[in-house]
Amino acid sequence: MITEPLLSLLPDGIVVDRVEVNSGLVTVHARSADLTACCSMCAMPSGRVHGRYIRRVADLPLMGRIVSLSLQIRRFCCLQSDCPRRIFAERLSAAVPDRKRRTIRLADVQRSLALGAGGELGSRLASRLAMPVSGDTLLRLIRAVPVEPALPARVIGIDDWAWRRGRRYGAIIVDLERANRPIELLPDRTAETVAAWLKDHPGVEIVARDRAGAFADGVRTGAPQAIQVADRFHLLRNLGDAVGNALNRHHRGIRAAAKAATALALPDPVPVKPASPPVSIVLPKPPTTRQQHSLDKRAARQARFDEVVALDAKGWSRSRIARTLGLDRGTVHDWLKAGRLPSWQQPSGDSTVDVHGDYLRRRWDEGCHNGVRLWRELRERGFTGGASTVRDWLRRLRAATPKSAGSAPAWKTPSGRRAAWLVVADADEIDETERRFVDALIAGSAELAHLIDLAREFRAMIRQQQEERLDDWLVAAEKTTFAGFVGGLRRDLAAVRAALSLSWSTGPVEGQICHLKTIKRTMCGRAGFDLLRHRVLEAA
């Protein structure tokens, strides 16, 4: 009753003799259904059996159990007199290949696990699915099948990815018209490698890339007919770098604008009539990392002390309590004698900083609240403690100092890179203080005001893809400190114009690079180029 259903599940041309079912293993004893076999060299059929042997092959699991095919293989005598091979073994169906320990369908499933999860993780998953296999075997299964060549692509995106940042890079090519799938992984990002790939894959009409010169040279050499499209995000990044370099030359103007923005942000003091102090609830500050560590250690000691008291109440001897809890007998004796958990924390009045308390309070009232600076001053007065001791002492003083109702956190002066973003951002993308900073920066320098207007115009031109405004903007900007940025745009002018007229970008390529990095980092150092290429191109 079991043989007939199994016969329909097993590969064609195999007859089941019997089935053995153990706790986690199903062994299927089978043989070939053919009465004759053909010689592998002369193709002469023969029915003369010379001998038999057993071949074991793993197959797909059955109801959570491992399946092993125990195949009876016959050896035949070749009937062709002049054939050099006298004895040959019969060949089974294509589902059970020669000299393999697994069926083709099991190998396909295990290879899919390897492509999705890698070697070691795939091995653990396969074991849970009753298809045990080692991680090294899974990696060999990946390499055993060559990557199928991709379909010809018309629109591609290309970008680099890091084997090791700052030292070694590769390149990835993505078909932007077919579901943004990666179609090739290159071992480096040189112009020669890109040009060689494009020559081997004619038909590329549009190439979206970043501003890298190597990619531009490679595309011009390998596919001169292709339209190059500069990525708009990278153009805006180049603009941000140019604006940041310009603002870095105006440190005084940035600091003055920051002071003006914060001065306007502070509210005018409003006289308040004296009245009874309002009832307010002051929430306790969360403990610092150091204080939390101390509290955790004390809680652990308190729990141990409670165990000692509980066991002593049950009548246990102190030696038995010490052996059971892993404590010293003297420690158990001292705890029970004291009746409480001893504390090693020094009282605040005995702190070595208290000797200099009057000096610290006077400097605090003068406005010096920097703990490191006060610690250095105390060292000149003979203090031998550490800076953390002084900070802890000042923390109590800071907690006791009342805060003014109108005090507000200080607004940090932005760096040149941050200021470059603020001056080109839309009004709804920044807060009120940042808007005041930008207005003060524009009002303080006519040169900066002109540069900011040019930067905003270029950002709007890129975002709205207004190609007709590009020439006028280049003429206006090349006479300013943006001359270097303008020179780079002119050298890549055709790609910049295409970016303002076509919708293609390298955004999908960046997404595939994130996927590539995830695969590379989960392979625990086993991501050689050939293996990584298989997983990126086939598991996408």
Asked, for residue 211, whether it belongs to a domain, the answer is yes
Sign of torsion over alpha carbons 8, 13, 19, 24: negative
Together in a domain, 352 and 341: no
Together in a domain, 359 and 419: no
Asked, for residue 186, whether it belongs to a domain, the answer is yes
Q: What's the pTM value of the predicted model, to 2 decimals?
A: 0.66
Together in a domain, 162 and 70: no
Asked, for residue 374, whether it belongs to a domain, the answer is yes
Q: Is residue 345's pLDDT more than 50?
A: yes
Together in a domain, 483 and 447: yes
pLDDT at 232: 93
What is the secondary structure of 400-416 as a DSSP string? Answer: HSPPPTT--PPPPPP-H
Q: Which amino acid is at 318?
A: R
Res. 74 pLDDT band, cuts 50 70 90: very high
Together in a domain, 450 and 365: no
Which of the residue ranges 134-148, 208-222, 249-263, 389-403 would you say has the lowest mean pLDDT?
A: 389-403
What phi and psi values does residue 62 have, to the nearest 5 degrees? -125, 110
What is the secondary structure of 6-70 as a DSSP string? Answer: HHHHSPTTEEEEEEEE-SSEEEEEEEES-S-EE-TTT--EE--EEEEEEEEEEEEEETTEEEEEE
Together in a domain, 240 and 223: no
Angle CA(94)–CA(97)–CA(99) in degrees, nearest 5? 160
Tell me the C-alpha distance between 54 and 76, whole Å.
15
pLDDT at 405: 47
pLDDT at 525: 66
Cβ atoms of 413 and 258 within 8 Å: the answer is yes
pLDDT at 285: 61
Together in a domain, 18 and 64: yes
pLDDT at 381: 86
Together in a domain, 17 and 91: yes
The torsion defined by the Cα of 150, 152, 156 and 162, in degrees rounded to 10, comes to 30
Other beta carbons within 10 Å of 337: 7
Those residues whose C-beta lies under 8 Å from the C-beta of residue 92, and which sit 6 or more positions away, are: 11, 13, 14, 32, 71, 73
Closest-CA residue to 70 (of 101, 33, 111): 101
Closest-CA residue to 76 (of 57, 89, 64): 89
Where does a domain end: 325, 345, 365?
Answer: 345
Tell me, what CATH number does 176's domain have? Answer: 3.30.420.10
Cβ atoms of 477 and 126 within 8 Å: the answer is no
Range list of β-strands (E), 134-178: 155-164, 168-175
pLDDT at 271: 53
Where does a domain end: 314, 330, 345?
Answer: 345
pLDDT at 409: 55
pLDDT at 62: 87
Q: Is residue 11's pLDDT more than 90?
A: no
What is the secondary structure of 271-318 as a DSSP string? Answer: -----PPPP---PPPPPPHHHHHHHHHHHHHHHHHHHHHHHHHTT--H
Other beta carbons within 10 Å of 50: 14
* DSSP structural state of residue 148: P
What phi and psi values does residue 159 have, to the nearest 5 degrees? -155, 165
* DSSP structural state of residue 356: G
pLDDT tens, 480-489? 999 999 999 9
Pairing of strands 25-32, 65-77: parallel
The runs of H, that is alpha helices, within 340-479 are 357-365, 371-380, 387-400, 416-424, 432-444, 446-464, 470-477
Tell me the C-alpha distance between 146 and 539, whole Å.
13
Asked, for residue 353, whether it belongs to a domain, the answer is yes
Res. 176 pLDDT band, cuts 50 70 90: very high
pLDDT at 460: 93
pLDDT at 5: 55
Tell me the C-alpha distance between 73 and 50, whole Å.
11
Q: Is residue 350's pLDDT more than 50?
A: no
The runs of H, that is alpha helices, within 61-212 are 104-117, 119-128, 135-144, 191-200
pLDDT at 488: 92
Per the structure, the complete domain to which residue 358 belongs is given by 348-398
Mean pLDDT in residue range 325-346: 77
Together in a domain, 5 and 33: yes
pLDDT tens, 493-504? 999 999 999 999
Asked, for residue 106, whether it belongs to a domain, the answer is no
Together in a domain, 302 and 384: no
Number of domains within the chain? 5
Together in a domain, 488 and 428: yes
Q: Is residue 199's pLDDT more than 90?
A: yes
Q: Is residue 273's pLDDT more than 70?
A: no
The torsion defined by the Cα of 109, 115, 121 and 126, in degrees rounded to 10, comes to 0
Cβ atoms of 228 and 216 within 8 Å: the answer is yes
Together in a domain, 309 and 240: no
Mean pLDDT in residue range 405-413: 62
pLDDT at 476: 92
Where does a domain end: 67, 101, 135?
Answer: 101
What is the percent of the chain where pLDDT is above 90? 37
Closest-CA residue to 142 (of 459, 427, 407, 527): 527
Closest-CA residue to 497 (of 507, 489, 509, 505): 489
pLDDT at 349: 46
* Average pLDDT value over all residues in the chain: 85
Asked, for residue 280, whether it belongs to a domain, the answer is no
Asked, for residue 385, whether it belongs to a domain, the answer is yes
Asked, for residue 134, whether it belongs to a domain, the answer is no
